[in-house]
Amino acid sequence: MTPPASQTPALQTQALVAGYEPDLPIVRGVDLSVAPGELLVLLGPNGAGKSTLVKAIAGVVPIHSGSVTLAGRDITRIPTHRKIAEGLAFVPQTENIFATLSIHENLQIAAAVLPKPVRSEKIAALYERFPDLAAKPSRQAGTLSGGQRQMLAVARALIVDPPVIVLDEPSAGLSPKIVSEVFEMLQQINATGVTVVLVEQNVKAALAIASRAVVLVEGRIRHEGVAADLLGDPLIAKLYLGTGHSPDHSQEAEHP
């Protein structure tokens, strides 16, 4: 459900310019507004700057200019760990768990940002939510399946009860069945009121669970709209998402 436009965005960027080198902007002036409770999917071809955008929002890529606000609070210049404490959870595409540590140790490290007295109770709440993790807390995270690893990464991010969670391609490298499980988990998280921003290459599946979609091309927003509308628009897929990601070729009109 999309809340009224008058509501303060859960997450917003204004004229955001960001990149790895000071003189080489990758994100080139992005105005992104995510309403509370939305599940927004960020799409775009390889190299469009999707990861760079979410990393800049999370504070791990330098912001050159512009702003990032979380529920109206300016978080542009604060360090990553404080962004988490402010309520912005980020699940990077890679290295989102400690592979040599156990499930429980991974959760303990994530809980370290919380006051000591509440840590074990928050971990217990996560185990209740993720029974697969609770079943074997001493198992080394590196030995988990791809889907279980993503579950652990998401569980770690949720330990602070964030109002907003941003995920960079959580379905990368997973089989279609596991992708559905991961997306179902994200829908459930969204249903509890958490605003979700999801970077995805799995266009069709992502549009099916998203309320709104934004297409990034060469560091700029090229298209945005209701997810269901994009899903039914093969031309958008063909033009901006790469032919390999076209949602439904069977209904595609000829575009000579």
Residues that bind ligand ATP (CB under 6 A): 20, 26, 44, 46-52, 201
Nearer to Mg ion, 93 or 108 (CB): 93
Closest contact distance (angstroms) between CB of 93 and Mg ion is: 6
According to the 3-state scheme, what is the secondary structure of 103-138? HHHHHHHHHCCCCHHHHHHHHHHHHHHCHHHHCCCC
Closest by Cα among 209, 213, 211 to 233: 213
* Closest to ligand ATP by CB, 215 or 231: 215
CB of residue 5 to ligand ATP, shortest distance in Å: 27
Smallest separation, CB 255 to Mg ion (Å): 27
Phi-psi region of 183 (alpha: psi -120 to 50; beta: other; left: phi over 0): alpha
Is the Cβ of residue 48 or residue 103 nearer to ligand ATP in the bound state? 48
Nearest to 207, CA basis, from 245, 151, 238: 245
Chain positions contacting Mg ion, by CB under 5 A: 50-51
Length of the chain counted residue by residue: 256
| 47 vs 173, beta carbon nearer ligand ATP | 47
What does 26 interact with, of ligand ATP, Mg ion, none (CB < 5 to 8 A by kind)? Answer: ligand ATP
* Residue 163 interacts with which of Mg ion, ligand ATP, none, CB < 5 to 8 Å by class: none
Closest residue to Mg ion in the complex (CB): 51
Strands 63-70 vs 11-18: parallel, antiparallel or unpaired: antiparallel
Report d(CA 31, CA 47) in Å as an integer.
19
- Which of ligand ATP, Mg ion, none is residue 171 near (CB under 5 to 8 Å by kind)? none
Task: In angstroms, give the least distance from the CB of 4 to ligand ATP.
Answer: 31
CB atoms within 10 A of CB 74: 10
Q: Which residues of 227-245 are buried (b: 16+ CB within 10 A; e: fewer)?
A: beebbebbebbbbbbbeeb
Q: Which does 20 bind (CB under 5 to 8 A by kind): Mg ion, ligand ATP, none?
A: ligand ATP
Question: CB of residue 205 vs ligand ATP: minimum separation in angstroms?
Answer: 15
Contact between 101 and 137 (Cβ < 8 Å): no
What residue 48 binds from ligand ATP, Mg ion, none (CB within 5 to 8 A, per partner kind)? ligand ATP
CB of 214 to ligand ATP, least distance (A): 12
Which of 232, 233, 226, 231 lies closest to 1 in space, CA to CA?
A: 226
